[in-house]
Amino acid sequence: MARAAGNIEIGVSTPTVADLKKHLALATDQWQANFCVVPLAHPRYWRDHRRPRAEQFTRSDLVLDSNAWCRLVVGKLSPWIRLDSADEALRKQSEAAFKQEVAWAAHLNVPAVMLPPVGSDAVNYAHCVNQALLSAPHIQFWVRVPITHPPQSTAEAAGGDEDGSSGTGAWASWNRLRCLCEHAPNLGVSLELGADLPDDEAELERWLGEPSTLGLPGSPLGIFREPLRAVVTPAVAYLTNKRGYPTLSRRHQAALARLLQHKPRLLVSGRADAHSEGLGAHVQYLRYLVSQRLAPSQQERPQPRAAAGESLRYEAPYYDFLQAPLQPLQDNLESQTYETFEKAGGGRGRQGALRGGDPVKYERYERAVYLYLCQRHQPGGEPAVVMVVGAGRGPLVAATLRASAASGRRVRAFAVEKNPNAVVTLRGRCATEAGWDAVTVVPGDMREWEAPRAPVLADLLVSELLGSWGDNELSPECLDGAQAPPQAGHEARAQRYLKPGGASIPTDYTSYVAPLSSSRLWNEATPSQGTRDDLAHFETQYVVKVHRMGVAPAPLALAPTHDPRPSGAIDNSRVAQLSFDVPLGGELHGFIGYFHSTLWDDGSEAVHISTEPSTESVGMFSWFPLFIPLRTPVLVPEGGRVEAAFWRNASRHRVWYEWALTEPQPSPIHNPNGRSYHIGL
């Protein structure tokens, strides 16, 4: 048997299988398929309740060993089953057959069962499937969904409900089913790309909000929690090229390429005599497409030693993978985490890495400091006092020194850092690196450091205390206070040692938020099957590289630009109410948070860093967005509106966010009083 192409398994589905053992040998050895979809019951075993048949309804389980059943076979339900038929006798017969075939699949321990398409009002279908999901939790159930309409000519396409729907209706029917089945993690979709694809690209988008990834190790077909489990290309949807081999149209290839990003299983369905080489030519062709489409970009290449946390830099292994945000104020970051901050793409060595880093972030900081120095200081003049607050292992200090050399302006630098382990690195660099004799290392918390007053106050404060949502690593709490003396209830802040009229890089930062449809992320936040009442998981925010957003209108500013040099009373709590138009509609699973920051703007040139999609700093991999889940997904109608409120709250010892949906229906306020999640001060 062939290896899965680019970790994507390719299977074949034929309407009938006379001799299973021979069929598997043919499919896996000659056609090079990874698995087969096989009818669970004999196709001629029509369960006529008036004339019950005496013979067995299917082949013996002894035709294969248990290893082959659970590795190579996906069971398919009988196509005649009509669970919502108006004919009561047929409905009852269908229910009995459904139960019998599911029980048989559980007995065989096949990894998945293919269900017929679901109709728009298939309530009894949902009832039977729900029972199956609960009775056989170890089996995946894949509902066939034709993206347009079922293929006409294959015998197997006769399966499904009499009113099996298509297009928008298919998605609505699927969505209804999964809601009725309470989003069971073992219920998924097998999306069928028929000969005709939908005219409206948005139809495909809808399914791209239903991503899938490879399964967990243990079973070759894996244990999957995401709705899009397989993409089916019926043999009749293929064209024939000049050499007589099957090929897909450009539109099909483009659609497949987009779906492939989520690494679903691929399936060719059709008769075994669809081509002189059976379905082998189709499998080979799909294998070729996969190899063409899945070459990872430099940024996506996995970095095996990447540390856990907000700053995981290399993206592919982290797509749709939820992580707890870093808390660099409360915790001391580890060496490995700093290394991932600093690591450059393009394979720089360790020395280079310490000077380089995120190719965008550090370059932009350097540019910002350079513009500041050119604008505010003279060549050969007094050294500019630059305080890098939260210096880590020193990449922003190094950027400052480079900007100084490039601009011809001298600097006197202070590196303030509260993590004693990073201080060791900073001191080491002062002792060994050229130019670092201009650097004074200040170990300690910037909120408490008694900076020497005259003559050394800072001309410029440089900080990178930004989180995925801008202020969620507590940059305001660390920097606020400006020139004002400490106030009652607030400790001293870093900006006490900024000269009157001094500058700050960044000059501002703004949080953004947008509605998100991603059942994948929502499922990821679900603690585990059967324990969905675990509230805390849905009242927590997660850092995540979102692989694919489904319905997501343009983000809006969450709050007015936050200037880290406020005047007047320090109050970092705030509330924002937002409204979004949702043209396409879909299921809302939560929100996605971004930030935009201006590092410096000298009037002629502005330097930004941003994760907000419309201004995104392409190639900057220091931040992934923030997933803010809803406890219960909500259906937003086409042309509908989402309204939500967000609060940032601060007390003496902690900061926390609360959020609530108000339209299309109110949700409870999530995380009241920070009961599930907070950020420590």
Ligand X SMILES: C[S@@+](CC[C@H](N)C(=O)[O-])C[C@H]1O[C@@H](n2cnc3c(N)ncnc32)[C@H](O)[C@@H]1O
Binding-site positions for S-adenosyl-L-methionine: 338, 361-362, 417, 445-446
Q: Which amino acid is at 173?
A: S
Report the candidate in 527, 413, 422 with the shortest Cα–Cα distance to residue 462.
413
Cβ 390 to ligand X, closest distance in Å?
3
- The interface region with ligand X, picked from 113-121, 168-176, 326-334, 372-380 by CB under 6 A, is 326-334
**Helix (H), strand (E) at residue 252:** helix 250-260
Judge residue 438's burial from the number of C-beta atoms within 10 Å of its C-beta, 0-12 exposed, 13-18 middle, 19 or more buried: middle
Backbone angles phi, psi at 58, to 5 degrees: -155, 180
75 is a contact residue toward ligand X (CB under 6 A): no
Residue with Cβ nearer ligand X (8 or 399): 399
Cβ 443 to ligand X, closest distance in Å?
9
Report the candidate in 614, 613, 627, 434 with the shortest Cα–Cα distance to residue 517.
627
445 is a contact residue toward ligand X (CB under 6 A): yes
Report the candidate in 2, 159, 194, 180 with the shortest Cα–Cα distance to residue 82.
159
d(CA 181, CA 126): 7
Question: Which one among 229, 265, 447, 608 touches ligand X, defined by CB under 6 A?
Answer: 447
**Annotated catalytic residue 643:** no
Residue with Cβ nearer ligand X (166 or 311): 311
Length of the chain: 681
Residue with Cβ nearer ligand X (464 or 612): 464
Q: Which amino acid is at 378?
A: Q
d(CA 35, CA 267): 9
Cβ 625 to ligand X, closest distance in Å?
16
Residue with Cβ nearer ligand X (418 or 648): 418
Judge residue 12's burial from the number of C-beta atoms within 10 Å of its C-beta, 0-12 exposed, 13-18 middle, 19 or more buried: buried
Measured between alpha carbons, how far is residue 240 from residues 237, 245, 277, 460 in Å? 10, 5, 13, 67
Question: Which one among 97, 260, 396, 578 touches ligand X, defined by CB under 6 A?
Answer: 396
Three-state secondary-structure class, residue 603: coil
596 is a contact residue toward ligand X (CB under 6 A): no
Cβ 348 to ligand X, closest distance in Å?
15
- Catalytic site residue from 310, 339, 366, 473: 473
Cβ 299 to ligand X, closest distance in Å?
18
**Helix (H), strand (E) at residue 425:** helix 420-432
- Catalytic site residue from 9, 101, 464, 539: 464
The DSSP bridge pattern shows strands 439-443 and 458-463 to be unpaired
d(CA 447, CA 617): 30
Three-state secondary-structure class, residue 598: strand
Please list the helix, strand and coil fractions of the chain in percent, rounded to the nearest 5, in that order.
Answer: 30, 25, 45
Binders of ligand X among residues 457 to 476 (CB under 6 A) are 464-465
For the CA atoms of 661, 663, 668, 672, what is the dihedral angle to 10 degrees? 40
d(CA 70, CA 163): 32
Instruction: Judge contact between 466 and 562, C-beta under 8 A.
Output: no
- The interface region with ligand X, picked from 133-141, 444-452, 513-521, 632-640 by CB under 6 A, is 444-452
d(CA 86, CA 123): 12
Binders of ligand X among residues 400 to 439 (CB under 6 A) are 416-419, 422
Instruction: Judge contact between 463 and 390, C-beta under 8 A.
Output: yes
- Contact mark string toward ligand X, 363..392, x via CB under 6 A: ---------------------------xxx
480 is a contact residue toward ligand X (CB under 6 A): no
Cβ 596 to ligand X, closest distance in Å?
17
Cβ 264 to ligand X, closest distance in Å?
36
**Helix (H), strand (E) at residue 479:** helix 475-479
Residue with Cβ nearer ligand X (419 or 617): 419
Backbone angles phi, psi at 648, to 5 degrees: -110, 125
**Annotated catalytic residue 491:** no
333 is a contact residue toward ligand X (CB under 6 A): yes
Question: Which one among 5, 197, 256, 329 touches ligand X, defined by CB under 6 A?
Answer: 329
Residue with Cβ nearer ligand X (173 or 327): 327
Question: Which one among 146, 356, 395, 502 touches ligand X, defined by CB under 6 A?
Answer: 395
d(CA 553, CA 556): 9
- The interface region with ligand X, picked from 325-333, 369-377, 601-609, 663-671 by CB under 6 A, is 325-333
Report the candidate in 261, 249, 13 with the shortest Cα–Cα distance to residue 113.
13
Residue with Cβ nearer ligand X (145 or 426): 426
For the CA atoms of 130, 136, 138, 139, what is the dihedral angle to 10 degrees? -70
Cβ 135 to ligand X, closest distance in Å?
49
Report the candidate in 449, 491, 504 with the shortest Cα–Cα distance to residue 653.
491
If one counts every other C-beta atom within 10 angstroms of the C-beta of residue 486, the result is 13
Query: Count of H helices and E strands in the chain?
Result: 15, 25
Cβ 173 to ligand X, closest distance in Å?
47
Q: How many residues bind ligand X (CB under 6 A)?
A: 20
Residue with Cβ nearer ligand X (44 or 653): 653
Residue with Cβ nearer ligand X (283 or 446): 446
446 is a contact residue toward ligand X (CB under 6 A): yes
If one counts every other C-beta atom within 10 angstroms of the C-beta of residue 550, the result is 22
Q: Which residue has the tokens 């299983």?
A: 265
Residue with Cβ nearer ligand X (377 or 418): 418
Cβ 418 to ligand X, closest distance in Å?
4
679 is a contact residue toward ligand X (CB under 6 A): no
- The interface region with ligand X, picked from 175-183, 441-449, 503-511, 637-645 by CB under 6 A, is 441-449
Binders of ligand X among residues 505 to 564 (CB under 6 A) are none
Cβ 453 to ligand X, closest distance in Å?
19
Provide the annotated binding site. Answer: 338, 361-362, 417, 445-446
What is the token pair recorded at 569?
């009373």
Peptide bond into 506 cis (omega under 30): yes
Question: Which one among 478, 607, 609, 679 touches ligand X, defined by CB under 6 A?
Answer: 478
d(CA 576, CA 469): 14
CA terminus-to-terminus distance, the chain: 56
Residue with Cβ nearer ligand X (329 or 505): 329
> Which residues, 6 or more positions from 351, have their beta carbon under 8 angstroms from its beta carbon?
none
Applying CB under 6 A, the residues found at the interface with ligand X are: 328-329, 333, 341, 390-392, 395-396, 416-419, 422, 445-447, 464-465, 478
Q: Which residues are annotated as catalytic?
A: 464, 473
